[in-house]
Amino acid sequence: MKNLLKYALIILISAGVFGCSSDNRKNEATEIPEVSVSAEQLAEDAAFQELFQEIDALNMQYFEATADIEPYAIGIPKWLRKVFNVVCADVVGAIACSWAGAAGATIGAIVNSVTVGACLDEEGKFMASETVWPVTFNSYLSSFSYDSNDAAGQIHNETIINTLNKYGKINLQNMSEYELYTAVIQQYVQDGNALPTDYNPQTYYARTLQAINLAKNNDYTTSLNYLALSNPSLTNQCALLQQYLKALENISESNCLQYHIDFRNTVMSSNISTTAKDNIRLCTSVGLGSAYLWKSVE
């Protein structure tokens, strides 16, 4: 009796398998696009895995160079230590708002920078410098043929400086987040920059507010991991930006500009998608701009 039951069970399972195979053959035509997309994603994942290894090697090279310059340094280098959270907030704001294209990502970074910067600067611990960053950024852009993604850090800094000069730090600190967002948008447009074609203030503010709260309440690792989980299409980009920010935690000021150039060129020579390259270039351009914009007040 037990053998009969066993054979009957085998027959039922076999029938189910063949039935599923038959159904699958019927749906082959509709599954072809899905297989194509999956293959494309696999290729993108493979390209990113190769890029991760190249950036690991690049980072190690710069970590060793910094150790030669600052052999007793512990943690974030002194030149960046007090403003590192703002730099991270800018990068998080850019990738979080990349759904809205280059303009949306740049605005997200600017709003995060002003918001987090204003919160951290209540005791006057640091300020935005108008003199240091233009020289560094011009050197950066002169190193290659650049486009608006590479120049995003320049737009980011100019908008912040002009917003600070227009309203003053105290007034910005007393603004609500929506008022501050509106002030940044107005300055961004006044400076000659175009808003996204589908711009809607309420929608864009709601999405930008998510990025602000994420950056204000978490470290960059937690923020980027959250973005990757909530938007799987950004998983690889968020992982790469973690490598980038980890490098900024460990390299000297004298090596920072050349690191950005090498990082950018490594990304550009990789096989990841054009969209991913554009997002990464924009985010790291903003990171470079922010690193040289905000300065500690001793």
Looking up tokens 């501050």 gives: 180
Going from N- to C-terminal start, the domains of the chain cover 48-296
Helical segments of 72-151, H only: 78-81, 84-96, 101-120, 133-141
pLDDT grade, residue 161 (50/70/90)?
Answer: very high
Over residues 222-249, the mean pLDDT reads 97
Highest mean pLDDT, choosing among 28-32, 209-213, 256-260 = 256-260
* Cα-based distances in Å from 226 to 210, 215, 238: 11, 11, 9
Please tell me which residue, 37 or 100, carries the higher pLDDT value. 100
Residue 125 and residue 296 in contact, taking contact as beta carbons nearer than 8 Å: yes
Residue 166 and residue 187 in contact, taking contact as beta carbons nearer than 8 Å: yes
The phi and psi torsions of 128 (rounded to 5 degrees) equal -90, 125
Q: Does the pLDDT value for residue 223 go beyond 90?
A: yes
Count the Cβ atoms, other than its own, within 10 Å of residue 107: 27
Tens digits of residue pLDDT in 97-153: 999 999 999 999 999 998 877 655 555 566 788 888 899 999 999 999 999 999 999
Residue 278 is predicted with a pLDDT of 98
Looking up tokens 């749906």 gives: 27
> In angstroms, what is the C-alpha Rg of the chain?
24
DSSP of 17-43: HHHHHHHHHHTHHHHHHHHHHHHHHHH
Count the Cβ atoms, other than its own, within 10 Å of residue 62: 20
Burial (CB < 10 A; 0-12, 13-18, 19+), residue 261, is middle
**pTM across the whole model:** 0.84
Over residues 214-224, the mean pLDDT reads 93
Residue 80 is predicted with a pLDDT of 86
Highest mean pLDDT, choosing among 4-13, 159-168, 207-216, 225-234 = 225-234
* Contacts for 97 with CB less than 8 Å, ≥ 6 apart: 104, 105, 107, 108, 109, 207, 208, 211
pLDDT grade, residue 173 (50/70/90)?
Answer: confident
pLDDT grade, residue 272 (50/70/90)?
Answer: very high
Please tell me which residue, 178 or 77, carries the higher pLDDT value. 178
> In the predicted model, what is the mean pLDDT of the chain?
85
pLDDT grade, residue 23 (50/70/90)?
Answer: low
